[in-house]
Amino acid sequence: MARASDNAVPPPEVAARALIRGAKEAMLATVSASGQPFASLVTPAAAPDLAVLLWLSQLSGHTRHLMADGRCSLLFVGAAAGPNPQKRPRVTVTGVAERVEGEEAASLKARWLARHPYAGLYAHLPDFALWRVVPQEGLYVGGFAMARRLPGSALRPDSGAVAALAAAEAEILDHVNAEHADAVAVIVRRLLGRAGRGWRMAAVDVDGCDFVRGNRVARLAFPNPVQDADGVRKALILATRAARGVAQNMGES
């Protein structure tokens, strides 16, 4: 995951959201019927409002735990910068899991698949269902001895901005993919370090956007949260300029 042309240290809530939105995996802690805590590996995605989406099989132990007691927590961990794992950025989110049904489930399932396209091979199986965890509280650790507790209201993005982007997302995706494939290509290649042709934008939110190519996914984090479609446009212009600058420095035309 990369940020678009900004070296400033983001506020803890923005850094925590970046970890959640960019994660391909997380550790889920549930409570068994006996009260024994249980941890498992899950593949999350973040809804536009930062609710954590999980596509879970009812055959899994953690799903059965959530069906009986929705209380849970998730741990998202960033990349290591050195040999000490305690210096890795991370965020723990607590909340209550609920199963998502109906038309909303179909929409949010598409968002989850945008982060995990390989899962299309089994996403149709009848024992799977979509679950959602709305963050009630977060603990962000930016490194060794750098902890900040975040209430859910501070961690979650502005609801007005979320609604504005949700209403404009389809149009943004159509426009970028139809008119700016060259910009997508240079951003993905030079800012995100992913090779290959045919990348397209699959999702956008207040904190960044996801690009996909087959089963591969790359996320661009915006330097600051955006409020609307115009904010996305400006962030992508900055990212394109930065990527082209990198290309020029490497001697590319």
3 Cβ contact list (under 8 Å, min separation 6): 10, 18, 220, 221, 222, 223
User: Residue 164 to residues 13, 156, 191, 225: CA-CA distances in angstroms?
Assistant: 20, 15, 27, 13
Torsion of CA 12, 40, 128, 65, to 10 degrees: -100
| 1-156 and 157-253: identical CATH topology | no
Which CATH class name applies to 157-253?
Answer: alpha beta
Domain ranges of the chain: 1-156, 157-253
**Bridge-partner residues for 44, per DSSP?**
54
Q: Assess if CATH 3.90.580.10 describes domain 1-156.
A: no
User: pLDDT of the chain along its 253 residues, tens only?
Assistant: 666 655 567 899 999 999 999 999 999 999 999 999 999 999 999 999 999 999 999 999 999 999 999 999 999 999 888 898 888 999 999 999 999 999 999 999 999 999 999 999 998 999 999 999 999 999 999 987 789 999 999 999 999 999 999 999 999 999 999 999 999 999 999 999 998 889 999 999 999 999 999 999 999 999 999 999 999 999 999 999 999 998 777 766 5
In which residue are the tokens 């700016």 written? 180
Across 22-39, b (16+ Cβ under 10 Å) vs e yields bbeebebbbbeeeeeeee
C-alpha angle with apex 112: 235 to 168, nearest 5 degrees?
40
